[in-house]
């Protein structure tokens, strides 16, 4: 299984690190260069951790684990009103970003209230494009247990709920209680611990999803496709932040679907067209393309069928 690590150090002899990553079968996910300093996010096989650590020490850098790198997580609040924003919703999103995730903060159009709160079909589709979702709910136990579960119970992605009162048995993968509504930044010790608890819950969810994917591995790792996509002209010219975002089982590419779907589908990966080993569709988030990579067994099965026919 791949482990995502972050190297923070100088640019001197950094090519040696890139070569080592390639030699051990890993990928560079992101490079951020600031003058003579560089931050490299990489995915390497777990068993090669020691080798990378040794090289990092040799280069005088610092290696840290970013367990959520390579994931895109939606942090959903019932509305974008000041009752939920910016605290604690943005505090939770920031905590997840520190662990390497790309986060999107979202407010529902009709999520406010008790009996009247609802999630629209469009919103559900949009949330389901992410690797996991965190729902940030409020103070009332009765409201959360009896009315707010309908916001997330039908979602097909893992969900963690962060709320105020102690609640159990919600139809989701993780519940973090004791947060509730906030009107100022979560900066006290007990609040920081709560943020850590929330990120640990998400880490666990992501770890489980990665383990599930490893049972039937993807035909190609998303980071490998990213390195090919990064060479495309529209990606180089794209001004949107992080034009290619990694998901656990694919990627989001922030260029128009109609214009570039064929170019992307024609990229060659291990003797196949990308369009044959992945599902390429238009994202609900305007002007983006979603790529869902098929598993190795799916691709092999399709190859067998096509050769026999």
* 83 belongs to the binding site for another protein (CB under 8 A): yes
Which residues does residue 282 pair with via DSSP β-bridges, in sequence order?
289
Within 182-221, the residues that bind another protein by CB under 8 A are 182-184
Within 107-136, the residues that bind another protein by CB under 8 A are 112-117
Whichever of 47 and 142 has its CB closer to another protein, that residue is 142
Please give the size of the binding site for another protein, defined by CB under 8 A: 26
Shortest approach of another protein to residue 203 CB, angstroms? 25
Q: What are phi and psi of 213, to 5 degrees?
A: -65, -35
Whichever of 82 and 236 has its CB closer to another protein, that residue is 82
Choose which of 26, 61, 158, 164 interacts with another protein (CB under 8 A): 164
* 30 belongs to the binding site for another protein (CB under 8 A): no
Whichever of 184 and 301 has its CB closer to another protein, that residue is 184
* 15 belongs to the binding site for another protein (CB under 8 A): no
* 143 belongs to the binding site for another protein (CB under 8 A): yes
Chain residues binding another protein by CB under 8 A are 78-79, 81-83, 112-117, 138-143, 164-166, 178, 180-184
């Amino acid at each position: 299984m791949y482990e995502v690590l972050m190297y923070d150090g100088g640019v001197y002899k950094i090519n040696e690190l890139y070569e080592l990553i390639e030699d051990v079968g890993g990928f560079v996910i992101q490079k951020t260069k600031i003058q003579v300093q560089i931050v490299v996010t990489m995915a390497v096989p777990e068993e090669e951790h020691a080798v990378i650590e040794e090289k990092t020490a040799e280069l005088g850098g610092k290696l840290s684990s970013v367990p959520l790198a390579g994931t895109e997580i939606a942090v959903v609040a019932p509305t974008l009103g000041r009752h939920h924003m910016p605290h604690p919703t943005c505090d939770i999103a920031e905590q997840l970003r520190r662990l390497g995730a790309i986060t999107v903060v979202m407010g529902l159009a009709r999520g406010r209230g008790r009996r009247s709160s609802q999630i629209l079909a469009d919103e559900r589709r949009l949330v389901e494009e992410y690797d996991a979702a965190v729902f940030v709910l409020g103070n009332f136990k009765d409201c959360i247990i009896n009315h707010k579960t309908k916001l997330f119970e039908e979602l097909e992605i893992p969900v963690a709920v962060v709320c105020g009162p102690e609640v159990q048995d919600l139809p989701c993968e993780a519940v973090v209680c004791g947060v509730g509504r906030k009107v100022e930044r979560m900066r006290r010790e007990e609040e920081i611990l709560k943020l850590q608890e929330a990120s640990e819950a998400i880490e666990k969810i992501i770890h489980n999803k990665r383990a599930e994917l490893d049972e039937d591995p993807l035909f190609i790792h998303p980071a490998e496709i990213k390195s090919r996509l990064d060479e495309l002209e529209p990606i180089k010219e794209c001004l949107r932040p992080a034009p290619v975002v990694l998901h656990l089982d694919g990627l989001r590419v922030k260029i128009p679907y109609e214009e570039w779907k064929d170019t992307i589908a024609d990229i060659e990966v291990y003797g196949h067209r990308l369009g044959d080993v992945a599902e390429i569709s238009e994202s609900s988030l305007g002007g983006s393309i979603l790529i869902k990579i098929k598993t190795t067994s799916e691709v092999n099965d399709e190859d067998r069928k096509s050769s026999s026919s």
